[in-house]
Structure 1
C-alpha cells in the first residue's frame, strides 16, 4: 500500500511515524541533563550507551580526545573519544576508554589496613 511502510512489528503510517519521532526527540530534550563541556561551551548529549555518545548534528563540535561527561553539575564519566559516524540527525562519538570519576587521588602503595576515621583521646 502506498504511504505505509513496514516495521518489524507492524504497519505504521508516515503521520504516526513522524509523531513518534517528534515524541522521541522531545523525550531526549527533557530526559537526563547529560552534557559535554568544550572550552566555555556546553553541548547537550542526546543519548549515551556503553559504546559512546550522540550529539545533535547541527551543534556537534569536532570532538576528539579526553572529555568529561556531566549530569547537571556532577561529573559522571571521563572518556577518551573519537568521532565515529553520522546517524540521521546526530553525530556519534565512540568511546576508546570510559571510566567513572575518582573521589580521591590514586596512591602508589598498597593500603594494608583501612584508614582510621578519627582519633579519640583518653584522659
Structure 2
C-alpha cells in the first residue's frame, strides 16, 4: 500500500484545513485599519493565512470578537503549508482602564456622593 499523495490533492487538503480554521476562529489581528483572521494562537505567537495576508511587522492588536486581548510587537518566523507564522517579541495584555499608581484598599468607596444643603 502506498502513502503517496499527489501535489494537487495535498494542496486541496491544505486549503480545506485552512478554511476550517478560518471558520472556527473568532480571533483577528489588526494592523492600522486592516484586519486579518488568526488561524491559531499560542503563548509565543500565532499563524495567519499566507495567501491572503500581507507580511506583517511591528506593533499589532489582537482581538477576540470585540474584546481587545493583546497589543503585541511581532516578527515573521516562517511560512509553511499555507500559513505564515509570527512570534511575539513583546506581548502585553490590554486593559480597559489605566493602571493605578497607588494602593486602593478593597473596601474603599467607588465614588463620593455630594449632598445639597
- With the length of structure 2 as denominator, give the TM-score of the two structures: 0.75
Residue 72 of structure 1 pairs with residue 65 of structure 2: yes
Gaps of 5+ in 2: none
Gaps of 5+ in 1: 6-13
1:66 is displaced (CA, Å) by: 1.4
Contact 2:18–2:49, Cα closer than 8 Å, also in 1? no
Secondary structure of the residue aligned to 2:20 is helix
Match for residue 90 of structure 2? 97
Match for residue 34 of structure 1? 27
CA RMSD of aligned residues (A): 2.8
Question: Can you list the C-alpha shifts for 1:11-32, whole angstroms capped at 9, x where unaligned?
Answer: xxx49x9687565334312212
1:116 is displaced (CA, Å) by: 1.4
Q: Which runs of 4+ in 1 moved over 6 A?
A: none
Corresponding residue to 2:79 among 73, 79, 86: 86
Corresponding residue to 1:116 among 103, 109, 116: 109
1:121 is displaced (CA, Å) by: 7.1
- With the length of structure 1 as denominator, give the TM-score of the two structures: 0.72
Match for residue 61 of structure 1? 54
